[in-house]
Structure formats: structure tokens, C-alpha cells
């Protein structure tokens, strides 16, 4: 999943805070993703986790002393920052954030941050909610943002002091995602992308619904890949039990009518529309307001259906439509039926797969159909397919020389 971290050199700086324990997992997962990790600790950080632990996990020496004699010229603050592809301060205490904002250099970590040149600096605050809310801290945070520093979080939740609120450091997997996103090519930088995902639910009565087996995994993987590619992503989702990708605005809907209304509300600024959701073709014309009761063992209620709006076709028919991508899940005659669907919708690109091989699965084999014909991709994870598809879409948006 974290494909952009391989062969990257990450420097992690730890300052004093109980959240230091989360960095052990982060280092392990960074190395699993193929990254090299250097660790620099302040003296306060060593009160919460030992250098021995972090050296064992990183497989490299841990640095703490500005006057460390291991570099031949005694300039660890220069060499460590020059060797790194990115610097992450996690946890970043209130005190260290203040030092960064003022440009103070009184230890190895603060000095290498100021000496880093054009290397990207990411800061993950970790502190009590009152310390985070204090005007001085907020001024310092704004100062760092103006200086080009990326602030990660903080999150909201239980704190070690027993209080609850903002100031909790992001979890290891969230920091890993942020680092992966940092290195991802920004192929859709600042593009407005709207994606639909998951199933819809059409009520029969207050208890029963008409739905389908869509898990939403492909749509969510595309939302994640688009966000990492620098897009502003709006994810309009039917009911699924998936976590919203970082940096994505998620809007929950249930019925096809709700999805249609929400999509249309976001079309004016949309530049790419990816319709992945398995929208119900029909709805019950008059759902019962009370639960339908079984009166005999041989008779079933008769349901009357109406056709739901065709969201993708309506978007594609706009006077100035966004670049539209549709999906087709078929059970047979894949290329024939999917090609017919692309023509019927009037869209430039349709992505097809076999429902029995894709729905609620983690892997899928995609077939891309456009004006030039069809291309079959190898079976791969939905995350890999999503990244490849976002790259393909970005190429279509770039005018030929």
C-alpha cells in the first residue's frame, strides 16, 4: 500500500512526550516499506523511550548530541539533514515547536532543522489540549506554516493526562500515510475530483432494502490514490465500513436519489468524475411506511419499480462536462457489454471487470475501454490498480505536445 517509500531516507526526530512509544511501530513499518530511517532524539525524548530500542528497530545509530564525534568533521547536524529525503518531528512538543518558530538552536535536533536547507520538514504535534489551544502555540504553528513546514494533525482523543481533546499525536499508520503521500507524484495537483463509491440502499419498507454486494474498496482506493496525487477529492459514498482516506472529504448517502443530488451539487468545479459506485438501477416506487408482514406461507408482496436517475450519463451530457470515468461490473460478455455501456453513457473511459472476481475482493483484473479499443491489465491489488488508473487519467488530462 505504501509504494512511494521504497529507497527513501527518512529522518525522525523525537522530542519529549509519551507519544514516543508510537514511533517504534512507525520505524518498523517504514523499514518494511523499504525506507532507510535515521533517528535523532532530544534529551527529554530519552525519558520516554530508549535509544537502544530505536537503534534496534532502525538498524542504524541513534543521534542525540550536538557534539557527537562520530562524523569526521563533528558536524552531525549538517550530514544528517543532507542525507535525508524528508525530516519528520514526531512527537513535537510545545517547547520544540516554539524553538522551531523562533529559529533557536540549542541541541542537535533543533540545529539540524534550521540547517536543513530545502529539505521538507513535517511536524506532528503532541501535547495536552490546553497547551495546544494556547494562543502562543497557535501563533507558533501559524509561523511554521508560513515558513513552509507541514503540520500533521494533531488528532482528538484520550490523552495520557486523563483529559480528552485536541493535541493527541497521530497514530503510526497516519504518519506513514502522510510520508507516503509526501513522496507520491502530484499528477493531479489541485484538480477537483469527485468519486462515487459503494452500494446504494433502496427502501422496501422501514426494515428491508434493495441493495448489492459492492464493498466500496475500489472507490476508496481511488480516492486515496487521487488525494496522494495532489487532488482535492470529494468522496460520495454509499453505506460501507471503510475508513475515509487521509485528505479526502467524504459525504455519506444511502439512496440513488441522494447520491444523484449530492453529485450534482459538486459538479460546477469538478474536473474529473469517477463513478465507481454500484448505483441501484431501480427503486421501489412506493416503499411501505410500515414493515410488510407475511400473511401466508404461499403469497409474497408485489413490488412496483421505477428507474433511478443515470448519474454518470447526466454528468457526461453537461455542456462542459468533467473528464468522466465509468465502471462496469459484468458477469458475462465483459467486453461486449462494457463497450455498449460506454457508448450509452457517452464517456471517454470505462473500466470493466468481472463482478464475481472483483466484488468484495482485494484484487481485481481491470479492462480499460476507450476510443482506441480495450486494454487488459494484469490482476493486482485494488490499491495498485487505483494508482495505475489515476496515473492513466492524469495522462489523458495532459494535452499532447
Binding residues for CTP, by number, are 281, 291, 309-312, 327, 341, 345
- Exposure of 69 by Cβ count < 10 A (0-12 exposed, 13-18 middle, 19+ buried)? exposed
335 contacts: CB under 8 Å, gap ≥ 6? 352, 367, 369, 374
In angstroms, the CA 315 to CA 277 distance is: 14
DSSP state of 198: S
Helix axes 217-228 and 382-397, enclosed angle (nearest 10): 50
Radius of gyration of the chain from its Cα atoms, rounded to whole angstroms: 26
Q: List Cα–Cα distances, 138 to 130, 144, 166, 205, in angstroms.
A: 11, 10, 12, 51
Contact indicator for 262, 251 with CB cutoff of 8 Å? yes
Instruction: Report the Cα 29 to chain-centroid distance in Å.
Output: 17
Closest to 107 measured CA to CA, from 41, 189, 35: 41
CB atoms within 10 A of CB 6: 10
Residue list for the binding site: 281, 291, 309-312, 327, 341, 345
Burial 247-266 (b: 16+ CB within 10 A, else e): bbebbebbbbebbbebbeee
Per the structure block, which three cell numbers stand in for 143?
Answer: 509561523
* Strands 305-307, 349-354: pairing kind: unpaired
Catalytic annotation on 161? yes
Closest to 62 measured CA to CA, from 74, 86, 45: 45
Does the bond joining 280 to the residue before it have cis omega, within 30 degrees of 0? no
Out of 20, 161, 270, 324, pick the active-site residue. Answer: 161
Burial 113-151 (b: 16+ CB within 10 A, else e): beebeebbbbbbbbbbbebbeeeebeebbebbeeeebbe
In angstroms, the CA 230 to CA 308 distance is: 33
Catalytic residues: 161
Amino acid at each position: 500500500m505504501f509504494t512511494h517509500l521504497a529507497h527513501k531516507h527518512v529522518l525522525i526526530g523525537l522530542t519529549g512526550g509519551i507519544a514516543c512509544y508510537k514511533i517504534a511501530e512507525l520505524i518498523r513499518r517504514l523499514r518494511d516499506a523499504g525506507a532507510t530511517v535515521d533517528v535523532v532524539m532530544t534529551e527529554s525524548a530519552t525519558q520516554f523511550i530508549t535509544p537502544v530500542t530505536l537503534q534496534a528497530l532502525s538498524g542504524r545509530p541513534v543521534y542525540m548530541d550536538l557534539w557527537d564525534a562520530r562524523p569526521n568533521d563533528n558536524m552531525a547536524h549538517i550530514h544528517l539533514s543532507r542525507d535525508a529525503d524528508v525530516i519528520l518531528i514526531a512527537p513535537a512538543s510545545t517547547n520544540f515547536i516554539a524553538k522551531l518558530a523562533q529559529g533557536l538552536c540549542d541541541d542537535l535536533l533543533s540545529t539540524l532543522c534550521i540547517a536543513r536547507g530545502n529539505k521538507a520538514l513535517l511536524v506532528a504535534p503532541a501535547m495536552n489540549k490546553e497547551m495546544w489551544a494556547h494562543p502562543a502555540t497557535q501563533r507558533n504553528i501559524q509561523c511554521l506554516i508560513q515558513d513552509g513546514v507541514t503540520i500533521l494533525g494533531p488528532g482528538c482523543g484520550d490523552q495520557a493526562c486523563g483529559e480528552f481533546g485536541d493535541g493527541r499525536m497521530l497514530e503510526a499508520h497516519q504518519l506513514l500515510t502522510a510520508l507516503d503521500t509526501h513522496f507520491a507524484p502530484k499528477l493531479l495537483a489541485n484538480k477537483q475530483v469527485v468519486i462515487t463509491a459503494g452500494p446504494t440502499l433502496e427502501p422496501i419498507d422501514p426494515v428491508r432494502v434493495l441493495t448489492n454486494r459492492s464493498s466500496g474498496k475500489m472507490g476508496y482506493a481511488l480516492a486515496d490514490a487521487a488525494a496522494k496525487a495532489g487532488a482535492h477529492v470529494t468522496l460520495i459514498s454509499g453505506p460501507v465500513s471503510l475508513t475515509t482516506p487521509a485528505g479526502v472529504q467524504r459525504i455519506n448517502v444511502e439512496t440513488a436519489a441522494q447520491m444523484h443530488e449530492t453529485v450534482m451539487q459538486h459538479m460546477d468545479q469538478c474536473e474529473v468524475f469517477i463513478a465507481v459506485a454500484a448505483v441501484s438501477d431501480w427503486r421501489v416506487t412506493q416503499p411501505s411506511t410500515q414493515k410488510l408482514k407475511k400473511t401466508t406461507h404461499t403469497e409474497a408482496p408485489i413490488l412496483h419499480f421505477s428507474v433511478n436517475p443515470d448519474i454518470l450519463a447526466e454528468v457526461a451530457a453537461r455542456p462542459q462536462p468533467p473528464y468522466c470515468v465509468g465502471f462496469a461490473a459484468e458477469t458475462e460478455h465483459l467486453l461486449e457489454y462494457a463497450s455498449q455501456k460506454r457508448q450509452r453513457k457517452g464517456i471517454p473511459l470505462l473500466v470493466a471487470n468481472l463482478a464475481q472476481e472483483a466484488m468484495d475482493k482485494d484484487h481485481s483484473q481491470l479492462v480499460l475501454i476507450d476510443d482506441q479499443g480495450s486494454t487488459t491489465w494484469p490482476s493486482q491489488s485494488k490499491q495498485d490498480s487505483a494508482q495505475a488508473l489515476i496515473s492513466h487519467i492524469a495522462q489523458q488530462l495532459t494535452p499532447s505536445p
